[in-house]
Every structure is written in structure tokens, then in C-alpha cells.
Amino acid sequence: MLSRTADNLYWLSRYVERADFVARILDAAHRLAALPSSYGGGETNEWESALASAGDPELFKPHYSVVNADTVCDFLAFSPHNPSSIRSCIEAARENARSVRTALTTEMWDAINGAWLELRSYAGRDLNRDEFGRFLDWVKTVSLTFDGSAFRTMLRNDSFWFTRLGTAIERADNTARILDVKYQILLPQDEKIGGSLDYFQWTTILREVSALTAYHWVYRESVKPLLVADLLILNKQMPRSFANCYGVIVEYLDLIADAYGRRGPSQRFAGNLLAKLESEDIDRIFSTGLHEFVEAFIAENNRVGEAIAKQYLVG
Amino acid sequence: MKSMAAAAFDEMTGMGGIADPATLRDAYGRLKAWLDSTPPEHFNTRRSQAELLFRRIGITFAVYGDTESTERLIPFDIIPRVITRPEWDFLERGLKQRVTALNMFLKDVYGAQECIKAGIIPADLVYKNAHYRMEMRNFRVPHDLYVHIAGIDIVRTGEKDFFVLEDNARIPSGVSYMLENREVMLRLFPDLFSKHRVAPVENYPDALLATLRSLAPTSATRDPTVVLLTPGRYNSAFYEHSFLADKLGVELVEASDLFTKDDVVYMRTTEGPRRVDVIYRRLDDDFLDPLVFRPDSVLGVPGIMNAYERGSVTLANAVGTGISDDKAVYSYMPDIVRFFTGEEPILHNVPTYRCREKEAFAYVMDNLSELVVKEVNGSGGYGMLVGPHASKREIDDFAKKLRHAPDGFIAQPTLSLSTCPTFVASGVAPRHVDLRPFVLCGADQIRIVPGGLTRVALKEGSLVVNSSQGGGTKDTWVLDA
Amino acid sequence: MRIRVVHETSYTYEQPARGLIQILRLTPRDHDGQYIRRWRIDTSVDGRLTAREDGFGNVVHWFTPDEPADALVIRVTGEADTDDTHGVVRGAVERLPDPFYLRDTDFCGTSPELHALAQSAATGAADPLTMLHRLMDTVHRTVRFEAGPATAAVPAAKALAAGCGNPQDIAHVFIAAARHLGIPARYVAGYRARDDGEAEVEAPHGWAEALVPNLGWVAFDAVHDVSPSEQYIRLAMGLDYLGAAPIRGSRTGGGTETLDVKLRVEQGRAAVQC
């Protein structure tokens, strides 16, 4: 397969995944911001952390004077100045899809091209809270439709594998970004501040990655920060956890290596990272520093992404 | 101007126009019956269905919803154009002869130059032509073939009168319409096909691939790697490029996907560099290699000409074939055919006045209102004067251009192109058509899929069939009796 | 005259440049009045250097470094003996038929002003040679040579309208006008030793050659308003500057490129001693 084709497929699914992630962050921020402050709600903090998780505050500053619901929603959902805004993601995804039109199935193309066409009915006009909520739901549907069409219609060859790799790398990064921004509320010292206050924060984190129900199924306990971290980092059953993403990444990198008869740095890096995750234990992570662990993971994940690019996508 | 249509040969009814059903030509018998028995609303319905189908078939490739997609929505006429088997056999022989002569001519002008020495064609016409590439001199292209894919434009003026209007030996386009038009017709009118024995065109991609593979350099493996090189998504023919790459099952590459190393062309793949043997390039010579041609080209592959000259890769078509697209060179084609094949030309040229010749120029200037004047290097119906349809002012303006640079023009009598029944707003009416068959010239054989692209001038009386000037297309049926 | 040339072209790239290819028309050939005693091209990085002949008959080297490079120096050192032939070029390698050199190019295209310039030089000239000398004179007076930092060549019509240009531009005006008159003309790139004997030269030079019946190709340097003498070394020829360009290159990546040219064209006895 042409390196350019693989590159387009990989980024196509990364952008779709990112759009979904940003929509979830915005959804959760709305929910938290609506809580009374006695329950941990609070406008400013919530929007600042949404901005930090899903965007680059440095890109935000030149275009907005305050951080609030309106500005952050605009920046994260529609701003052309934000390469990770939902709009930019959908546009970039479609640009990539167009370039590899013939490598996609009709269903995948329809999913992404349809989303791009429909985006116009949302972008560029004032949406009220209701409409904005529907917009966010729609974005999540787009990623479901796209993923579903890829899963149901693509040949299981390198095209599919690079698509899945893009999703998994992006997903791992997204989960890590949430933890990077919110790690302090998971730490033990924060627990003292007041259980009920943070409870909603924890459940919101779970909600952001649609894992609240999963949490209860897995742990059969009330929500506890240590277990929230365990679920998102080490639990292999949880589709957005580091461990699960790396399981997927290693699996597809191995399939590619077997098909091409050649292994390289990306297989090595990803394999090492997975082995490390498998041998970790959440207590140890907390004792050595959750924040440091997450930051190191983000760097490692980037390194795997770069290795994949160098080995396959640039040519 | 309506006299034009009336005087023209109608392919369904013969001379005299559509008004005279008594002279119905045999080939159109069943079609005529169908046209007569079908209510006009039915055509309308079918036409909207055709539109829909184009979008749906095209959906695999077309990027509808884009402003750029307007390009591919060239009007499609649902009434097929019919060519009988004996007519086609004649055309096929003529096309093979012509393309064979073109290849021999190109080999000669880049090699021994016998035709120049023998005075068949004036030296300066060749050497001063920007499409004559001196980089191509004195090296042998694989299999001595230059034109591998040719689109020869043919017009008809009578029962037995076919003329070549233009040779397209650079990068002829339009074959995707030939294939899609047939596909749509098959879906819309299955009944019609069961009543007619229409020669298939669906094997064109196979024929093209076989042709391209046959052209692989000797250094290639038994399974040569063929790619289609496109200028990219912003090219107006990109749709056709991706369509063909898909049908051929070859990679659609852009310049950035290719690189050269030690005079070999490689493509960047996920499995590492892969050697490329044959490049079906849909990119003009000028942009092919920034180190040799236009230095500002970002669409080209640096070093590709060197690899080509070293014989490690085949370019289809060869570099420098544009010389034979030149309309002044065209005017010498009958002599070129005689000189190289030793045969009389089967297909005739339209009589052509070369404005570079004094006497011809004087005649042209005196008769501008009767003639069609064309730029020798023009295409797409631009830079052209259709005398009988032009205003006095247009003629005067053109005369100025002509006087300034007579070398740049040729003139031809206004041909009354044949007409075919066409579904237009007022119902079924005759409209002028031409035909572009696609000739594939491989190292093993010449392949021509029976039929081609019929272009139709949708405006009443118009003789300009180019899609950029309001032309449409039709399915072309070669009928076995 | 003995002329010694040391020509260093240095490229520096912000980041290592990949896929670097340089095409060098930096090797002169022998002809009457020009004998190459020794000539070599060295590069500062390892790579593949292959020589071939282009369509015009120029010697062309293709250089491709083995590894991505962040700097590249191409160093030409050579020595030639030259005689004054009053601009007449005989015994050179000729690969193309004469009419080829009548062809318009992007740089040497037509314009009404060029047409007028050509006509004014041609009017009243007894023979083609006189005509061409008058043309050279006219071009010399009409398009002023502008020394200074190297600028990119422009089409002849544009240079004529501007009334000034670099040596390429001036040669292009001469060539385009000569072709107007039906005289085959071409561009020549080369070295020129200075009149004042100084060795430091800003850049390679460019001039024109035109075909004179019964005499053959004759060189015209409209910058200096002379037919080249023994001070000139012919490197390469083309329809215009582009075809004869001493160096053409391409690369991917590497960021901004910095170019530095050092050229010494030394003449006379001093050269004989080494």
C-alpha cells in the first residue's frame, strides 16, 4: 500500500476519534458546570479544564478574552483556529478521506462525507444549549457510524489495520489527557477535602469516556479515585484504557509486521509499553506519582506514533 | 444556421434530416421504433434516473457536494449513437493504420529523421514546436513505441465519409465516460440491449492493463508494477484518474509518492520502496521532471527523465508525443501515413489550409466567414473561429490575430458533422456529433474497444462538441447485424 | 590565454535535505579556441556523480548524496587555454539542427516591443553579421546591466520593458530579437575573466550565440557589447538560461537554503606557473 494512503487512513480515523473525544469533554463540562457549587460545580474551573483537556490554551488566548461556556464551546466545537476543534477534525478527516477515496468502502465515505455536509447546518450560527446538546450527540453518532462502517465493511488487510491503529493511538492519548488534567482530584490528599464534592468529578471523568456503567460492572463498588485510575489505565477490558489501547496497537502492529514480513521500531516500542502496562499495579503508580506516570505515558505514546509514521507512513 | 442541421447527414435517417422517415437506415430500425413508441415523459423519467445513477455509480469516486464536482457532470444523452459492424471494421483498420504511422513518425523525428530529409514535413515545423522534446533525441524508448493510448477524433459527413479531425497523442481523456455511459444505459434500458447485439466496452480496463504491462522495460520482472500518475485531486480529470486506477487495480500515485534513486523510480509504500516499471502518466510533459522541464513544477518527480532515458521505466505515453497533436503537423498526416506504411491512408484528413503557406493564407483571409480556423496548438474548442457562426466583429478580431502570427493557425472548411437523434427540451431532435475511439498500442498488439466516446453539441445547429462549450456525451453502440 | 577557474558553490540547509539531486553543467568541452587542460568537480559530501550528455551536447553531471546533507559544497577547479576567435565558435559539439534554435521559450518569447527592437536593428543592415552587431549594440544600450545580488532571470519582454537586467536577461533579449529576425540563436553559460585582471568574479556569466550564414555560430555578449574573446570559457548552451543553467537542483525538506558562490577566474602568466 502507498505510504500516503496509509497515512491518510491513519489520520482519518485519528481525527474522527478526536472529534468524538472533544464532544464528550464538552458534554461533561456542561454537566459539571450546571451543578451547584456545593456539589463541586463551578463555571470557570470546568471550562478551563475542558480547554486544557481538549485543546491548546495557547491557541485559545489570541481569539478570546475570557474563559467561559461560550468561548470554550466555540473554540472546541467550531473554531477554525483550533486544529482540534470538532469542525477542524471533521474537515481534516474528510480531506484525508477524499485523498484515499478508492481505499474506503462506500459506507465509510458516506459516513465521513455525510458528516462533513451536515456540519454546515451547525457551524457558523448561534446554537442554544439544546441545539448544542443535539450537536454533541450528533458528533458521537458520526464516530459510531464511521467506526461501525469500517468494522462492518472493510477488508481485513493493512488498510483496516492502519485505520484501527489511528483510532487506538488517538484514544490512548485522549484518555491520558483527561487524566493529565484531572489527576489531582484522584489523589488521596484531595479525598480529605470532601467526598461528595469530588464524587461528581470522578463520575464525570467516567462519563467522559462512557465508562460509568462499566465501572460498576467491573468493581461493584462505589466510585473511588484509585479504581477510576485503575479502570482507565490498567484495565484491559475497558476500551479506552491505556492497557486496552496498547493491546490493540500491538495486535495490529503485529498483523502488519507479519503481512510485510518485517518488524521495526514501532513493534518494539509498542510491545515494550504494553509489557510495562501489564506489569504495573495501580497502588505502585499512585505511590510513585500518578501525574509523572501519565506524563511519561503521553510521551511514550507519541514516540510510538512517530515510530509508526517513520516506519510506514512517510515512506 | 438551421440550414446546417438540415443539410447534415443524419445517422438515423440518412440525408434530409429527421423529417424524412422513409429513408430510415437499417441500423437504427429498432431504435427508431422504440423512440416512436415511447412517450416523452418516459424519456424525462429515464433521464432523471440516469442523473441519479451517475451520482450513485460515481459515488464511489465523485466527491459530490463539492464545487469541483461540477466538472464531471457533463450532460448525458440517453439516446445511443449507433455504428454498424462494417462501419466499425473500416474505422478500426483506419485507426490501426493511423496510430501505427504516428508511432513510426515519432520514432523517426526523434531518431533518423528520414521524413524530414525526404521533405515529407518541413524541418522547422518539427524543430520549432515546443512539444518536440530534444531530450528525447537519440534514445530508444521501450519497444520503439511512443503513443500507447491515443484518442483519435473522428467526424462523419455522409454514409461512407469519415474524417479524422484531430489526433490526441498526449493524454487523451474521456474514456471513463465511455465506460460509465454504457453502465448507465445497461441499467436503464435492459430491454434495448436484449433487442440489439451491442459490442461490449467493459473490457477496456483489461485491455489497457495488458497494454501497459506489455510495455514494461526489459529489466522489469515478469509481474511488472504499473502505476497511474495523477497531478492530484485538483486536476479537472482527477475523477477519471481515480476511476481508471481503481478499474485497473493499480496504485493511483502523486508525484510525492514517487522518488528516484540511481536512475530507478520507486514508490513509497508501507512495505518500503517498491520499484515502478510502467507509469501511465496523466501529467503533461512540462510538469514531469522539474530538473529537466519546468523548474517550478511541484507535480513532477525529480530525476524521472534520467530513469526514463536509462530505460529503467516506461512512461505511457512517451515524452514528446505532443508534436503529433499539432494541427499543422496533422495536415501532413496523409503523407506521413504513406511514407511510413507504404499504404494509402484509410481514414482521410479534413482538408486543411496551412496559414504558414502564403497562398493558403491569402485564401483563408478571403474566406474567413466560410472556414473554421484553429490554433495549431489549441485544444478544447478555444482559440477557434467558426466562420459561418461568427459575427462580423468576431471575424475582424480573429483576422487581426491571424495576420499577426499566421504560423500559429490552420483553417478547414466547415464540415457539416453528422447528426444523431438527441433528447432535448423540445423532444427528440437531431444534434451534431463526433466520435473519439481509444486506441491502445501495446508491444504485443493494437487493441481498440469497439465504440468510443460520442460527443454531442446540445445547442441546435452548434458544431462545437467540447464539454467546456456546452457539449454532452452519448453511449456509442457498435452493432452486429 | 590561460585561464584558471576555481568555482565554489555552497549550500547550507536548515535541516538535512533528503532526496537531493543536483544537475551540474559545469564541464566545458573543447572546440576551436578553447582547450581544456584539466578540469574536475569535487563535492563536500559523498555521493553518486555520473556524467552524461544532454540533448544540446552539454556535459551534465548528476550528483546525488548518499545521505541527507545539511551542507553541500560543489567545487570546480580547472584550467583552459583560449584563443581569440572573434566570437566565432567552430568545432563545438553540435547535436541539434539549426532550426531548433528558432524556437520560442518562456524566457525568450515574443512581444510587439521585442519585434520593434529587432526590426530597428535590422533595418538597413547589409548582411546578417552587421545586423547582429547592431542588435547587440541596441540591446546593450537599451537594457542596462545591473550588477549586484543575483536575481532570478525574467522573460525577455519583461527585461526589455524594465530597461535593465542581469546577464541572463540581457542575453534573452538578444536571443528573442534575433529569432524574430529568423536567425537561430542560443544562450551560452560560461566564465569570463575580468578586463582589469582581478581574479574575483561575482558569478558565472551568460551571453548569446547566433548563426551567421557562411560563418557558423558567432558569440555576442550584449552586456559588454563585444563578441567574446579569449577571456571567455564556454560551459554549456541552451535555448535559454534554463537549458544551460550551471546548476539545477531539487530536494525534499531541508528548510531554508542559503547559497554562497565564490568564483575566481584568473588569467595570464601567473596561471602558467602552477
Of B60, B65, B270, the CB nearest to A3: B270
Torsion of CA B137, B142, B143, B149, to 10 degrees: -90
Give the model confidence (pLDDT) of B203-217 as tens digits: 999 999 999 999 999
Q: What is the pLDDT of residue A221?
A: 85
Hey, are the CB atoms on B269 and A256 less than 8 Å from each other?
no
CB C145 within 8 A of CB C158: no
**Nearest CA distance, A146 vs chain B (angstrom):** 16
Q: Which residues contact B99 (CB under 8 A, 6 or more apart)?
A: B147, B150, B152, B439, B441, B446
Residue C136 lies inside a defined structural domain of this protein: yes
Residue C152 lies inside a defined structural domain of this protein: yes
SS3 per-residue string spanning chain B: CHHHHHHCCECCCECCCCCCHHHCCHHHHHHHHHHHHCCHHHHHHHHHHHHHHHHHHHCCCCCCCCHHHHHHCCCEEEEEEEEEHHHHHHHHHHHHHHHHHHHHHHHHHCCCCHHHHCCCCCHHHHHCCCCCCHHHCCCCCHHHCCCCEEEEEEEECCCCCEEEEEEECCCCCCHHHHHHHHHHHHHHCHHHHHHCCECCCCCHHHHHHHHHHHCCCCCCCCCCCEEEECCCCCCCCHHHHHHHHHHHCCEEECHHHEEEECCEEEEEECCEEEECCEEEECCCHHHHCCCCCCCCCCCCCCCHHHHHHCCCCEEECCCCHHHHHCHHHHCCHHHHHHHHHCCCCCCEECCCEECCCHHHHHHHHHCHHHEEEEECCCCCCCCEEEHHHCCHHHHHHHHHHHHHCHHHEEEEECCCCCEEEEEECCEEEEEEEEEECEEEECCCCEEECCCCEEEEECCCCCCCCCHHHCEEEEEEEEECC
**Nearest CA distance, B193 vs chain A (angstrom):** 29
User: pLDDT-based confidence at B68, cuts 50/70/90?
Assistant: very low
Give the H or E element holding residue C171. helix C167-180
Of C21, C54, C95, the CB nearest to B302: C21
Q: What is the pLDDT of residue B390?
A: 87
* For range B37-52, the mean pLDDT: 85
More confident residue, C149 or B44: B44
Q: What is the pLDDT of residue B63?
A: 44
Question: C45 in contact with B at a CB cutoff of 8 Å?
Answer: no
Cell 469541483 identifies what position?
Answer: B68
* For range A293-315, the mean pLDDT: 94
Hey, are the CB atoms on C103 and B259 less than 8 Å from each other?
no
Residue C192 lies inside a defined structural domain of this protein: no
Nearest CA in chain C to B302: C250
Cite the DSSP H helix spans in chain A.
3-33, 43-54, 57-60, 69-77, 86-99, 106-122, 129-153, 158-186, 188-191, 195-208, 212-219, 225-233, 242-260, 265-279, 282-288, 290-308
Chain A neighbours among B 226-255 (CB < 8 Å)? 233, 242, 245-246, 251-254
More confident residue, B56 or C143: C143
Question: B271 in contact with A at a CB cutoff of 8 Å?
Answer: yes
Q: What is the pLDDT of residue A188?
A: 59
Substitution target from C62, C93, C239 for chain B, most B beta carbons within 10 A: C62
Of B242, B245, B256, the CB nearest to A4: B256
**Nearest CA distance, B145 vs chain C (angstrom):** 20
Q: What is the pLDDT of residue C271?
A: 44
DSSP β-ladder status, C2-27 and C257-267: antiparallel
Is the pLDDT confidence value at A192 over 70? no
User: pLDDT-based confidence at C232, cuts 50/70/90?
Assistant: very high
More confident residue, B480 or A248: A248
Measured CA angle at B376 (ends B371, B377), to 5 deg: 135
Q: Which residues contact A279 (CB under 8 A, 6 or more apart)?
A: none
Hey, are the CB atoms on A315 and B252 less than 8 Å from each other?
no
Q: Which residues of A touch B (CB under 8 A)?
A: 1-4, 6, 98-99, 101-102, 106, 109-110, 113, 116-117, 158, 162, 256, 260, 262, 312-315
Is the pLDDT confidence value at C96 over 60? yes
Of B134, B262, B290, the CB nearest to C100: B134
Is the pLDDT confidence value at B66 over 60? no
Is the pLDDT confidence value at B59 over 50? no
User: pLDDT-based confidence at B39, cuts 50/70/90?
Assistant: confident
Hey, are the CB atoms on B134 and C250 less than 8 Å from each other?
no
User: pLDDT-based confidence at A261, cuts 50/70/90?
Assistant: very high
Q: What is the pLDDT of residue B69?
A: 46
Question: B68 in contact with A at a CB cutoff of 8 Å?
Answer: no
Which CATH number does the domain housing residue C208 bear? 3.10.620.30
Residue C258 lies inside a defined structural domain of this protein: no
Q: What is the pLDDT of residue C178?
A: 95
Hey, are the CB atoms on B124 and C99 less than 8 Å from each other?
yes
Q: Which residues of B touch C (CB under 8 A)?
A: 123-124, 127-130, 132-138, 259-262, 290-291, 295, 302-303, 306
Range of the domain at C168: 88-184+204-228
* Radius of gyration, alpha carbons of chain C: 19
**Nearest CA distance, B135 vs chain C (angstrom):** 5
Hey, are the CB atoms on B306 and C62 less than 8 Å from each other?
yes
Substitution target from A3, A9, A94, A163 for chain B, most B beta carbons within 10 A: A3
More confident residue, B360 or B25: B360
Cell of B281: 502518466
Residue C76 lies inside a defined structural domain of this protein: no
Hey, are the CB atoms on C64 and B259 less than 8 Å from each other?
no
Give the model confidence (pLDDT) of B149-172 as tens digits: 999 999 999 888 999 999 999 999
User: pLDDT-based confidence at A44, cuts 50/70/90?
Assistant: low
User: pLDDT-based confidence at B62, cuts 50/70/90?
Assistant: very low
Q: What chains are in contact with B, requiring at least 3 Cβ pairs below 8 Å? A: A, C
Cell of B219: 529489466
Residue C271 lies inside a defined structural domain of this protein: no
Hey, are the CB atoms on B257 and A117 less than 8 Å from each other?
no
pTM, full prediction: 0.87
Hey, are the CB atoms on B295 and C248 less than 8 Å from each other?
yes
Q: What is the pLDDT of residue B65?
A: 43
Residues in chain B with CB shorter than 8 Å from the CB of C55 are 133-137
Count of CB pairs separated by less than 8 Å, A with B = 58
Residues in chain B with CB shorter than 8 Å from the CB of C19 are 259, 302
Substitution target from B125, B134, B264 for chain C, most C beta carbons within 10 A: B134
Give the model confidence (pLDDT) of C244-259 as tens digits: 999 998 888 778 889 9
What letter would DSSP give residue C221?
B
Q: Which residues contact A76 (CB under 8 A, 6 or more apart)?
A: A22, A25, A26, A50, A51, A54, A55, A82, A84, A85, A86
Most confident by average pLDDT, A306-315, B33-42, B233-242: A306-315
* For range C47-64, the mean pLDDT: 92
User: pLDDT-based confidence at A35, cuts 50/70/90?
Assistant: confident
CA distance C130 to C133: 5
Residues in chain B with CB shorter than 8 Å from the CB of C48 are 262
Q: What is the pLDDT of residue B380?
A: 53
Of C21, C96, C102, the CB nearest to B291: C21
Q: Which residues contact A154 (CB under 8 A, 6 or more apart)?
A: A105, A108, A160, A163
Least confident segment among A95-104, A304-313, C137-146:
A95-104
Give the model confidence (pLDDT) of B333-361 as tens digits: 999 999 999 999 999 999 999 998 999 99
Least confident segment among B3-7, B440-444, C93-97:
B3-7
User: pLDDT-based confidence at B58, cuts 50/70/90?
Assistant: low
**Nearest CA distance, C145 vs chain B (angstrom):** 25
CB C231 within 8 A of CB C193: yes
Hey, are the CB atoms on B134 and C55 less than 8 Å from each other?
yes
Is the pLDDT confidence value at C81 over 50? yes
- Interface confidence (ipTM) of the complex: 0.85
More confident residue, B181 or C197: B181
User: pLDDT-based confidence at B419, cuts 50/70/90?
Assistant: very high
CA distance C274 to C264: 15
Is the pLDDT confidence value at C89 over 70? yes
| Number of domains chain C contains | 1
**Nearest CA distance, A139 vs chain B (angstrom):** 20
Is the pLDDT confidence value at C272 over 60? no
Give the model confidence (pLDDT) of B135-154 as tens digits: 998 788 999 999 999 999 99
Residue C81 lies inside a defined structural domain of this protein: no
Nearest CA in chain B to A310: B270
Give the model confidence (pLDDT) of C206-218 as tens digits: 999 999 999 999 9
Give the H or E element holding residue C180. helix C167-180
What's chain B's average pLDDT? Answer: 88
What letter would DSSP give residue C12?
E
Residues in chain A with CB shorter than 8 Å from the CB of B269 are 1-3, 315
Q: What is the pLDDT of residue B466?
A: 79
Residues in chain B with CB shorter than 8 Å from the CB of A102 are 60-61, 242, 245-246, 252
Residues in chain C with CB shorter than 8 Å from the CB of B132 are 100
End-to-end CA distance of chain A: 11
Of A101, A102, A113, the CB nearest to B65: A113
Measured CA angle at B36 (ends B32, B41), to 5 deg: 125
Is the pLDDT confidence value at A200 over 70? yes
Of A6, A113, A116, the CB nearest to B270: A6
Cell 457551524 identifies what position?
Answer: A123
Q: What is the pLDDT of residue A10?
A: 97
Substitution target from B254, B260, B270, B276 for chain A, most A beta carbons within 10 A: B270
How many CA atoms are closer than 13 Å to the CA of B88, on its beta-carbon side?
22
Q: What angle in degrees, to the nearest 10, is found between the helix axes of A195-208 and A212-219?
A: 110
Q: What is the pLDDT of residue B16?
A: 55
Cell of C173: 533579449
Q: What is the pLDDT of residue A201?
A: 78
CA distance C96 to C115: 26
**% pLDDT > 70, chain C:** 97
Hey, are the CB atoms on A102 and B270 less than 8 Å from each other?
no
Hey, are the CB atoms on B123 and C62 less than 8 Å from each other?
no
Residue C223 lies inside a defined structural domain of this protein: yes
How many CA atoms are closer than 13 Å to the CA of A125, on its beta-carbon side?
8
Residues in chain B with CB shorter than 8 Å from the CB of A99 are 233
Give the model confidence (pLDDT) of A72-122 as tens digits: 999 999 999 999 999 999 999 999 998 888 789 888 998 999 999 899 888
User: pLDDT-based confidence at B22, cuts 50/70/90?
Assistant: low
Cell of A41: 460545580
